[in-house]
Amino acid sequence: MSTPSPHCLTLGALIQCRPGFEPDAAAELASRAHAARLVGPVSGAPRSGFCTLTLAEPLPRDLLQRRLDASQLVFSRQSFQVVAVLDDLPERDRLTPLVSAIAAGGERFCRLLLETPDTNEGKETSGFLRRFEPLLDAALRDAGLLRPDSPHLPRLHVFFANARHVWLGFSAPSDGSAWPMGIPRLRMPKDAPSRSTLKLAEAFLTLLTPDEQKATLRPGLQAVDLGAAPGGWSFQLASHGLRVTALDNGPLAPAALATGLIEHLRADGFTWKPRKPVEWMVCDMVEQPARIAPLMAEWLASGRCRRSLFNLKLPMKRRYEELERCRALIDQRLRHAGIKYVLRIKHLYHDREEVTCYLTRR
Ligand SMILES: C[S@@+](CC[C@H](N)C(=O)[O-])C[C@H]1O[C@@H](n2cnc3c(N)ncnc32)[C@H](O)[C@@H]1O
């Protein structure tokens, strides 16, 4: 068991990712840490569902947060700064050592997030966690460590790598995901043509601020959906009242057409152009990412759309490298056009072998 660090120091960072993506998550974390002059090993066991950066020397918390904004990492679903690692929790009483380790950190928290990796082993632990959570919650409140009425306080993460091995840490309320383990619980809308409608819903919630959602997802605005069939994304846009031109040689589901807001065109997403600029272009065409990225940049550079949301399919081994290549292609085109832009990328919970990107002018 490592000694909890004094309350102003952090031992490193833990990021949670989709199992199988540890090499990509670790490569990204290592690259970001290197750029931020943070020294220490990065590790992520295969299919463990998480990666860690262990600092060679503990650092003040604010400094780590400023240098490494882990919540911005593409392959991170959830992240926190580590303050202690408890590696042999007794099966009979996990509560006492946990509460004393949390108390030793000398910090108060606004919220408790009990988390596990998103793996089969994690799922086995989650049954125990459901029973354990009210006990830990009550013990922390009794000790004055958990104060839900003080939302400015950090959130406490208790991450059970397995039933006996726990990583303790914290995150600022504005960082990381609001959902434990970064897994949104979204309800499938009635009549939606495909489950991928949830992917776009998650993308809007994750990649846009609430103000951006309000300003850009409203009735009267126009959208284009490249590679739309069977219509899950178009349906999601229509559910916000947008009018959608849906391009695909394949058929759209009747439920999509029944919204009355979606027009289906059998056309090629690589060559078709709108007559007038549109607010949104979304694209889910299954194509090489190095073909999609320049197309997305072109739509923004030529003013065909004000913003776009698209998938880059990454079925290859070295996903992080491919993603960086796509970033460079977008940057090259927009720099050449003298356009300052915002590009946010996330490997969403609903994404499998792909990442989701939001691109707009700054
Ligand atoms: C993953 S599916 C899209 C699913 C859709 N987003 C939904 O929510 O239902 C990919 C679609 O891209 C279409 N597609 C692939 N290449 C295309 C192209 N060049 N032009 C238009 N559509 C294309 C395919 O026909 C396929 O229907």
Question: What's the gap in Å between 271 CA and the centre of ligand 1?
Answer: 14
pLDDT value of position 247: 98
pLDDT band at 71 (very low <50, low <70, confident <90, very high): confident
Residues 306 and 349 sit within 8 Å (Cβ to Cβ): no
Q: Which of 194, 200, 285 should be mutated for ligand 1, with most atoms under 8 A from CB?
A: 285
Q: Is the pLDDT of residue 6 over 90?
A: no
For 186-224, what is each residue's pLDDT tens digit?
999 988 999 999 999 999 999 999 999 999 999 999 999
Q: How many CB atoms lie within 10 A of CB 86?
A: 19
pLDDT value of position 174: 78
pLDDT value of position 7: 58
pLDDT value of position 5: 54
pLDDT value of position 69: 85
Q: How many CB atoms lie within 10 A of CB 328?
A: 11
Q: What is the mean pLDDT of the chain?
A: 95
C-alpha 318 chain-centroid distance: 19
Question: Which residues are annotated as catalytic?
Answer: 313
For 74-114, what is each residue's pLDDT tens digit?
999 999 999 999 999 998 999 999 999 999 988 999 999 99
pLDDT band at 3 (very low <50, low <70, confident <90, very high): low
Q: Does domain 196-361 have CATH number 3.40.50.150?
A: yes
Please give the helix or strand (H or E) that residue 186 lies within, else none: none
Side-chain half-sphere exposure of 58, counting CA atoms within 13 A: 16
Query: What is the Cα gyration radius of the chain?
Result: 22
- Ligand 1 atom nearest the C-alpha of 193 is 9
Q: Quick one: tokens of 34? A: 């290197």
Residue 194 phi, psi (nearest 5): -155, 160
Q: Is the pLDDT of residue 61 over 90?
A: no
Q: Rounded CA gap, 104 and 136, in Å?
A: 16
What whole-number percentage of the chain has pLDDT above 70? 98
pLDDT value of position 277: 98
pLDDT band at 48 (very low <50, low <70, confident <90, very high): very high
- Ligand 1 atom nearest the C-alpha of 272 is 20
For 125-159, what is each residue's pLDDT tens digit?
989 999 999 999 999 999 999 999 999 999 999 99
- Ligand 1 atom nearest the C-alpha of 196 is 8
pLDDT value of position 274: 98
Q: Which residues contact 80 (CB under 8 A, 6 or more apart)?
A: 13, 14, 70, 155, 157, 159, 169, 170, 171, 176
Q: Show the ligand 1 pocket: residues with CB < 6 angstroms.
A: 193-194, 196-197, 226-233, 247-250, 268-270, 284-287
CATH code linked to domain 9-182 = 3.30.2300.20
pLDDT value of position 202: 98
Q: Which of 204, 224, 249 should be mutated for ligand 1, with most atoms under 8 A from CB?
A: 249
Angle at 272 between CA 270 and CA 278, to 5 degrees: 110
Q: Where are the alpha helices (DSSP H) in the chain?
A: 22-35, 61-67, 95-104, 120-142, 196-207, 210-216, 232-239, 254-257, 289-301, 319-336
pLDDT value of position 186: 95
Residues 356 and 311 sit within 8 Å (Cβ to Cβ): yes
Name the nearest CA neighbour of 81 among 173, 180, 6, 169: 169
Question: What's the gap in Å between 269 CA and the centre of ligand 1?
Answer: 9
Q: Quick one: tokens of 64? A: 């780590």
Number of helical (H) and strand (E) elements in the chain, helices listed first: 10, 14
Boundaries of every domain in the chain:
9-182, 196-361
- DSSP states along 283-349: E---S-HHHHHHHHHHHHHTTSEEEEEEEEE--SS-HHHHHHHHHHHHHHHHHHTT--EEEEEE--T
Residues in a beta bridge with 259: none
pLDDT band at 175 (very low <50, low <70, confident <90, very high): confident
pLDDT value of position 8: 75
C-alpha 233 chain-centroid distance: 19
Please give the helix or strand (H or E) that residue 218 lies within, else none: none
Q: Quick one: tokens of 296? A: 């997305």
Q: Which of 191, 286, 313 should be mutated for ligand 1, with most atoms under 8 A from CB?
A: 286
For 306-341, what is each residue's pLDDT tens digit?
999 999 999 888 899 999 999 999 999 999 999 999
